[in-house]
Chain A
Amino acid sequence: MDKVWVLAEQSAGSPSAIALELLSKARDLAQQVEAITYGAGGQLAAATLGEYGATKVFDAGDLGDSLPGPKLAAAIAALAASEGAPGAILVGMTYDGRDVAARLSARLDRPLLTNVVGLAKEDDSLVTEHAIFGATKVLKARFTGEGPGIFVVRAKSFAAEPSSSGVPETAALDLPDAGATDAAKVKGRHAEEREGPALDEAPVVVSGGRGLGSAENYALIEELAKLLKGAAGASRAIVDAGWVPYSHQVGQTGKTVKPTVYIACGISGATQHMVGMKGAKNIVAINKDQDAPIFSIADLGVVGDVHKVLPKLIEAVKSRS
């Protein structure tokens, strides 16, 4: 495969973690790795994208009040027509990445594979890995038709490793008129207050589930997370119940986390939850039901009441420092 494109999301000049993971992987797959980026700060991000393997960075610039999907799909399709299509296009399974990949797939009339967690070159095709049935099975798949194949990859599937490559060439990416598809406009952006490290980058994640009993008790999770310099996560049950925002959700339809320690408090261990945290180096679970499925993957399982164990643990951590 000669060339691979990576859709590299960035914010104010900092590439997202998944952009760097994808670039690192792309280096194994092709000689030429090119990044496509957008948003204010794209020029600034180019240097870092180069460090992780991009030889060329196409920057679409600030999208104004447009959503990324329609404009970028139109731009990438036009780029494929003018520069020649790459063998593969790698996109992160993020809110915007999914939209871009979906629109691009329809535009180019190419299928896509999503929820990719592994990618390897076999003969001259790329074989993907997908964790299915609650990650109890690994399914491998590949495209059989004409390229470019569009691969939508889950976060934390690959390690981000800088390479020795130099400063990338940069080029402006023209944004063609995407017509009616671009009619949705962002009127306001709201950032939720969040202290400490991001959930999917924190070395420690403390998550709470329905076993906490009430929304107020989530404060225990937040306090412990803060003391351990970690992030607070949640099961979908308490996100759906409105106790915490969706951005805290760990699992199949939430974030994938791979911290050094994951502490599950009052979480049963449904397959859809475990998919998102099974990759943690160490797992601690506190649950009052000794038969809770979470114990089957816990390195340390505590059969106990979170209302009793958590306050004592918090005190113990506090008095240590």
Chain B
Amino acid sequence: MNVAVCVKQIPDPAGELSLTPDSHTLVREGKLMMDDSDAYGVEMALQLVEAAGGGDVVLMSMAPNGETSGLRTALAMGAERAVLVSDPALAGSDALGTAKVLAAVVKRVEPDLVLAATESTDGYTGTMPVQLAELLGWPSVSFAKQVSVAGGAVNVRRQTEAGYDEVTCPLPAVVTVTAGVVEPRYPSFKGIMAARSKSVEQLSVSDLGIEGSQVGATGARQEVVSVQQADERQAGEIVVDEGDAHERILAFLEQVKVL
């Protein structure tokens, strides 16, 4: 069984994030890293392929510059190879544009299953994988808490408002996984060394037969009107507990009339 995993390379979320002054898109200069949220999909894919007794885990990524450092992390975890669509025309792409690009990649890779995170850490639009499924004409199951594959179908425990649903879906399909679906492994030293020589195929938008107007800022058909400072909440009273802080809390709860 072959599994393709969507892996996003993002600026360090713990660092200082900023928007470009003109287009108000996230500054993506410098070194990018693998989105932590994608580690779950990579790990899940590795485990499913192992359980199936063979197959490849292929990474799919899209980035405006030829960045591969995030992909190397996932290759070091054990993925076989990666396909990176990298093209200046992709700058400013929205979720639908990204889905169009990745749909073209899926058609080349022909996996049995596509895994992705429920949302990325930097943009968190949260719709790309299901848009991808619709463009492919595939079924999808979002918010997986548990995933297994048997008899040509993927079985998913899907998070719901009330609890969870048990869902069965024939392959090929797209599944989005939540954090906690599996515990991602850390790349071993051996894995990191091996990742250096693994293949990262680089494609342009035209290699995929996609028109430039479908992707990037033009394809996104949306614009940022303004970015403003939000109203900040002020800090209130701070007390240090001397064994009686619960009384102060109790008085506060009475004051705001929930007691």
Listed in ascending order, the chain A residues whose CB lies under 8 Å from chain B are 67, 69-70, 73, 93-95, 98-99, 101-103, 105-107, 109-115, 127, 131-133, 135-146, 152, 179-192, 203-204, 228, 230, 236, 239-240, 242, 245-247, 252-253, 260-261, 263, 278, 281-284, 286, 290, 295-305, 308-309, 312-313, 315-317, 320
Given known contacts A236-B179, A247-B163, A320-B259, A106 and B134 CB-to-CB distance under 8 angstroms: yes
- Interface segment among B59-67, B75-83, B154-162, B201-209: the answer is B154-162
Q: How large is the interface on B (under 10, 10 to 19, 20 to 34, 35 or more residues)?
A: 35 or more
Q: What are 24 contact pairs spanning A and B, CB under 8 A? A: A69-B140, A95-B159, A98-B126, A98-B127, A99-B130, A105-B131, A114-B95, A114-B127, A141-B224, A142-B223, A180-B138, A184-B140, A184-B173, A190-B164, A192-B164, A240-B179, A246-B145, A297-B233, A299-B252, A300-B248, A300-B249, A300-B252, A312-B246, A320-B250
Q: How far is the CB of A313 from chain B (nearest CB, A)?
A: 4
Q: Which residues of A contact B253 (CB under 8 A)?
A: 228, 261, 284, 317
Residue on B nearest A104 in the bound complex, by CB: B134
Contacts of A290 in B (CB 8 A): 238, 240
Q: How far is the CB of A84 from chain B (nearest CB, A)?
A: 20
B160 to chain A: which residues have CB within 8 Å?
Answer: 95, 189
Distance between Cα atoms of A189 and B253 in the complex (Å): 38
Q: Quick one: given A131-B230, A139-B224, are A93 and B126 in contact (CB under 8 Å)? A: yes
Q: Are A313 and B249 also in contact (CB < 8 A) when A95-B161, A303-B238 are?
A: yes
Contact A180 B139 (CB under 8 A): yes
CB contact under 8 A between A316 and B237, given known A185-B167, A192-B163, A261-B258: no
**Chain A residue at smallest Cβ distance from B180:** A240
Contact B226 A106 (CB under 8 A): no
The answer on a CB contact under 8 Å between B168 and A185 is: yes
Say yes or no: A304-B240 contact (C-beta < 8 A), given A115-B125, A184-B169: yes
Given A183-B169, A228-B253, A303-B240, residue A317 in contact with residue B224 (CB < 8 A):
no
The interface centre, meaning the residue of B17, B127, B135, B238 with most chain A CB atoms within 10 A of its CB, is: B127
Q: Determine the chain A residues whose CB is within 8 A of the CB of B223 once the complex forms.
A: 141-142, 144
Summarize A's interface: helix, strand, loop or mixed: mixed
Q: Give B134's nearest chain A residue, CB to CB.
A: A106
Report yes or no: B228 in contact with A304, Cβ–Cβ below 8 A. no
Give bound CA distance, A246 to B160, whole Å. 10
**How distant is A234 from chain B, measured CB to nearest CB, in Å?**
12
Q: Are B130 and A102 in contact (CB under 8 A)?
A: yes
**With A136-B229, A183-B173, A189-B160 given, can you name 16 additional A-B contacts, CB distance below 8 Å?**
A95-B158, A103-B134, A110-B221, A115-B125, A133-B17, A140-B225, A180-B137, A181-B134, A184-B141, A187-B167, A190-B163, A240-B180, A253-B179, A263-B249, A284-B252, A303-B238
Chain A residues with Cβ under 8 A from B234's Cβ? 297
Which chain B residues in 117-149 approach chain A with CB under 8 Å?
118-119, 124-135, 137-143, 145
- Flag whether B245 is at the interface (Cβ < 8 A): yes
Least CB distance, A5 to chain B, in whole angstroms: 18
Report B-chain residues with C-beta under 8 Å of the C-beta of A242: 180
Chain B residues with CB under 8 Å of A145's CB are: 221-222
Q: Which of B137, B233, B237 contacts A301 (CB 8 A)?
A: B237
Residues in chain A near residue B162, CB distance under 8 A: 189-192
Tell me the chain B residues, 166-225 only, with Cβ under 8 Å from chain A: 166-170, 173, 178-180, 220-225
By the criterion CB–CB under 8 Å, are A317 and B180 in contact?
no
Q: Across the interface, which residues of B come within 8 angstroms of A137, CB to CB?
A: 227-230
Bound CA span A298–B248, Å: 14
Question: Could you tell me the distance between the alpha carbons of A236 and B226 in the complex, rounded to whole angstroms?
Answer: 31
Closest B residue to A74 by CB, please name it: B134
Chain A CB within 8 A of B31 CB: no
Q: Decide: B256 and A261 in contact? CB cutoff 8 A.
A: yes
Which residues on the B side are within 8 Å of A115 (C-beta)? Answer: 124-126
Quick check: A246 and B178 within 8 Å, CB to CB?
yes
